Amino acid sequence: MRYDAFISYRHSPLDMEIAKKVHTALETYRVPKSVKAKIEKKKITRVFRDQEELPIGSNLSDNISEALSSSEKLIVICSPRTPESEWVGKEIDAFIKMHGRDNVLAVLIEGEPDESFPPALLTDGEGNNVEPLAADIRGETKKERNTKFKTEILRLIAPLLGCSYDDLKQRHRERIIKRTISLVSAGALVVAIAGAAFGIYNAKVAERMEKLANEKAALADEKTKLADEVTAEYFEKQKNQSRFLAKEALQLLSEGKRQDAYLVAKEALPDPNFYPDGIAKERPFVPEAEYALSEIMHTYDIGYAMAFDRTLGHRLSLEDMEISTDGAFLTTKDFGSNVYVWDTKNWQQKVLIPPTVGDDNYLEEVQYANSDGTGVYLVCDRAFKKYGYDGNLIYSTPTTNYIKSGWTDSDMGLGFCVANDTVDAIDLSTGEISFTLTLPEDQVFYSKPRTSPDGKYFLCTTHDEKEDVTSLGFFSISEKNGQRVALSMDSVLEYCYTPAGNIAVLSCNDDFITEGVKSFYLDLIDPTLGKVVWSKEVPNLIKRLTTFDSNMKARQYTDEAGVDTRQIVLTIESNAFCYDELTGDVISSLNLPSDAVSLNLRSDNQYGFVGYVNGNLDTIDFTDGSIISDNAISTSLPIRDLIIANHMVMIRAASSSDIYLLKYHESPNVSVITDDARGEYIRSASRRGDWFVTDDSGTYRFRDLDGKLLYTHEAYDSYASGESFFGNNYVIWEKDRLWIIDTEKWTSEEILYSDMGLEGDEAYFDILSSDDGRYNVLRRSRNVAVLDLEKKEFIGQAEFDGIIGNTEISPYGDFIYITLPGKSLIIVRVSDMSMEEYDNENLRALSDLSHLQYLRLSHDGTKIAMACKDGVLRVVNTAAGHIEDELPFYSKLKCGIFFTDDDRFLIYQGDDLKVKIYDLRNRNLVNSFDASSSISHYVADASGHLALCDGYYIYLLGETMADPQRPATFGLLATPENASIYVPLENGGGYFLMKRGYTIYKAPYKDYMALLDDAIYEFPGAALTPQDRVKYNLD
């Protein structure tokens, strides 16, 4: 074999240090002569130790696989970090397949075997437990590890040489003894020669040497301690940098630069690559970076919120953009006459056509550009050109006159070059001039041309310079001639072709810049009759003469009553008007919140979309003139032009070199559970994660996470007082009875409270259960009753003088805690329902309202947290009654208090809706964040995540341990919108359940590694330029 051994290890500081040490010790080991005589192998020659780690999810490289194949033994450096390494696992699996399990050795450097050995070392191929041959060098200090290393390394050397460990250990002892004897003999000889006179001197020298050795060892320990402190400080700075980068990534996302946002967020996350000198580059994980990436990837979006998708970068500021008739291509042009074509399926740039130099040695100016599936069309100032998507020129048709503007219609197969008084129609397939339209003398073409949707007409406005009359010209493509209809005013602002075959034209006086707008007119022209059908003056409400924008579109649809509706919609500055095409009557008008720069209409209903100069977009019902505020979109972009096509919004912003793309993000991570959940409210989910339940006015439907209906329960009352879990049972509480749903057999049992010994027939409106669901407190205004659900009998009932505020029950059902007006916290012994008031005037509830959760008992029953009347949240020892902690807390209308499952952290929220997490052990605030509403409950999963639910969002928090000696913190990992509950899974992680309309969705939680995989798939090959790295403070 080429190598005696292959060393596999996790690339973290201690693991790398030991791996290097093992490597050196093996290759420098001198085999004792007595052992050499017994074995064939005389020395360990070569050991392979890989210097860099592969990215997560990648395959073993060729040189790694070859080294594994050429190695006799595999040595695995084992620590609690090792099982997390996907690479180490792959190396073990590959080696076992090549050479068998018996040739695998282990070095235990930290932790216990069951947490440090990878799974492949603990079980064989049939699942039987095995114990690998291992060297144990664990120690509290580096000195202890070094001492053990000297003998434990022999456990690795022995199988590599093919001898026994005892042989090497015996020879090791003999070497030490010989060395000691030699030193002693040499010392004795010196003493004998020097004489007794030097005896005292030698003793003092020995004492000094020992003192120096101790000082040296202390100095080494101090250096090690200093190095650890420097490393810890460095990691802390890395965490702060990661949080800064996460914030920077979210800012970039808000600016529409989604790809750059992903690349910056990636820099804030742990990186599997390493520096050449072996020092780990892997940065500590911070939840904020994962949150930023989940927002950037829209991981939990269900398609109801429009947000930035990406930007399309250009060399210079953009001048124009056009979408192809089939929506497959977006063509853009910058102010340098560079033309770009983008494939709208994947938004990759198909081609870039730079400007060419004309015969006069000037760059040709591109007046118009568009594209289709066969190529790119450019209307230049002196030629009509077509390019292929390889960038090569297909044809160039020169024109005799200077071209002012142009147009292409791929459906008609024609392109149009508009000069001063002529129009050349170009055959798009051949580039030949098909025909030429010529205006009469003194007539000139006036504005941007178009073609009618039915392909019959070429449209363009004209101006009679002699008569000073502006007309709309519509020229028959088939007959190669046309006619003109005079307009009400001379300056054409907008015109459009209507689905009914008419042409609507908006105009005003041509001297409006100097004299101001005197009036606006809307003319409707019938091209078949060649006359104006009607003409209406449009209200003149503009405020800025030189900067106002106008837009106009027309549509035809059948409304909900089955009436054929034809509308012409126009915007002028910050005003919108909707006209009936048949009559010219105003259907609606409204004042817009800002100046409109774009207008798009739905073709199937009354809604339309208006983009404003301030970057906002509104959905408007033009039938009644109302803005649908729930659909408002804010982009913060100074919009100049906007196209809506293929479910995307394409925005050209003022002075920008980017096109910004927005869309309704429907994450592939989200799937539909059911689309038939009308009226249903998601109530809860099983603790095993195998079902969830909805409530529709007393009809409870139990489904699995794939949408299969498992069971339906019809309650007696449409309003439930609450629900709880008891073992595998789901319990529904009503005012006078309960239902026990067996979720394994899917049967239900109805039990009246009176049948379990409850006195009286009044209704109970609230229920509180112990963690295991066995003990339950039923409450009405002045009465509580305690039920043992296992025995199905009430074990206590009491009446109080005042209105009961909050109630809590101990884990074993022996005590309940209640608040009453004008009294301190009260503890009730359930066995005899005797009451005792805590002797502390400060323990008075902040409110008498029962719907505010201002009292919470810890899960072990030893502490109770109470929001008190004096604005303090107090944590009370329930047995002794003394106050253990006090926190400022202000609440009047909103209040929520929770203990985490281990009772270490207190989660609380007041009127400001800010959620705070307090470490009761270390007595410090570890995190806070703003919620949208009151937190109703929380769920913990097996991975250590906390999911806080407020009915609109779920706030998933991740625990981060900076180091074992420091307190834990919780950072935000994800905030899915429309999320009702979080369903934890037994093996860790969980699902978010979201509801919108009649549809219930599910989305699994994704950690940052899965998010990075998604990002790499969506943005293949994406990388920041050196300039971007400087701009974003990455280097």
Tens of pLDDT, residues 701-749: 999 999 999 999 998 887 777 899 999 999 999 989 999 999 999 999 9
Tokens 């592939």 locate to 668
Q: Which of 159, 151, 168 is nearest to 36 (CA)?
A: 168
Residue 28, φ and ψ in degrees, nearest 5 = -105, 5
pLDDT for the residue numbered 133: 80
pLDDT at 199 over 60: no
pLDDT at 865 over 50: yes
Q: Which of 718, 756, 715 is nearest to 732 (CA)?
A: 715
Q: How far apart are CA 80 and CA 97, in angstroms?
A: 25
Tens of pLDDT, residues 658-707: 999 999 999 999 999 999 999 999 999 998 889 999 999 999 999 999 99
pLDDT at 483 over 70: yes
Residues 529-551, buried b or exposed e (16+ Cβ, 10 A)?
eeebbbbbebeeebeeeeebbbb
Please calculate the CA angle 733-738-741 and round it to the nearest 5 degrees. 95
Q: How far apart are CA 857 and CA 873, in angstroms?
A: 13
pLDDT for the residue numbered 174: 58
Strand order in the sheet with 3-8: 47-49, 3-8, 71-78, 104-108, 133-136
3-state helix, strand, coil in the chain (%, to 5): 20, 40, 40
Q: Mean of the pLDDT values across residues 190-206?
A: 48
Tens of pLDDT, residues 937-959: 999 998 889 999 998 899 999 86
pLDDT at 823 over 80: yes
pLDDT for the residue numbered 179: 52
Q: Is 695 left (phi over 0), alpha (psi -120 to 50) or beta?
A: beta
Higher-pLDDT residue of 231, 788: 788
Q: Which of 822, 842, 918 is nearest to 883 (CA)?
A: 842
Q: How far apart are CA 624 and CA 630, in angstroms?
A: 17
pLDDT at 455 over 50: yes
Higher-pLDDT residue of 575, 226: 575
pLDDT for the residue numbered 919: 93
What's the sign of the alpha-carbon dihedral 558, 561, 564, 569?
negative
DSSP string over 669-712: T-EEEES--TT-EEEEE-TTSS-EEEEETTEEEEE-TT--EEEE
Check: CB of residue 1008 under 8 Å from CB of residue 290: yes
Tens of pLDDT, residues 551-596: 999 999 999 899 999 999 999 999 999 999 999 999 999 999 999 9
| Average pLDDT score, the chain | 88
pLDDT at 197 over 60: no
Contacts of 805 (CB under 8 A, 6+ apart): 818, 819, 820, 821, 845, 847, 848, 849, 850, 854, 855
Tens of pLDDT, residues 516-555: 889 999 999 999 899 999 999 999 988 876 678 999 999 9
- Could you tell me what percent of the chain has a pLDDT over 70? 91
DSSP string over 768-791: EE-TTSSEEEEE-SSEEEEEETTT
Check: CB of residue 979 under 8 Å from CB of residue 948: no
Check: CB of residue 993 under 8 Å from CB of residue 1000: yes
Check: CB of residue 578 under 8 Å from CB of residue 553: no
**Burial classification of residue 797, based on how many CB atoms lie within 10 Å of its CB (0-12 exposed, 13-18 middle, 19 or more buried):** middle
CB atoms within 10 A of CB 236: 14
CB atoms within 10 A of CB 341: 22
Q: How far apart are CA 911 and CA 933, in angstroms?
A: 10
Tens of pLDDT, residues 75-130: 999 999 999 888 899 999 999 999 998 899 999 999 998 899 998 888 887 778 88
Distance set, CA 590 to CA 576, 597, 620, 843 (Å): 5, 16, 10, 57
Protein fold of 3-175 = Rossmann fold (3.40.50)
What's the token pair of residue 818?
């209640």
Contacts of 307 (CB under 8 A, 6+ apart): 298, 301, 662, 663, 665
Overall size of the chain counted in residues: 1035
Distance set, CA 581 to CA 312, 432, 455, 527 (Å): 38, 39, 21, 15
Indicate the pLDDT class of residue 182, thresholds 50, 70 and 90: very low
Domain ranges of the chain: 3-175, 227-299+1009-1035
What's the sign of the alpha-carbon dihedral 80, 86, 91, 94?
positive
Q: How far apart are CA 87 and CA 72, in angstroms?
A: 20
The whole-model pTM stands at 0.72
pLDDT at 160 over 60: yes
Q: Mean of the pLDDT values across residues 209-213?
A: 70
Indicate the pLDDT class of residue 204, thresholds 50, 70 and 90: low
Indicate the pLDDT class of residue 492, thresholds 50, 70 and 90: very high
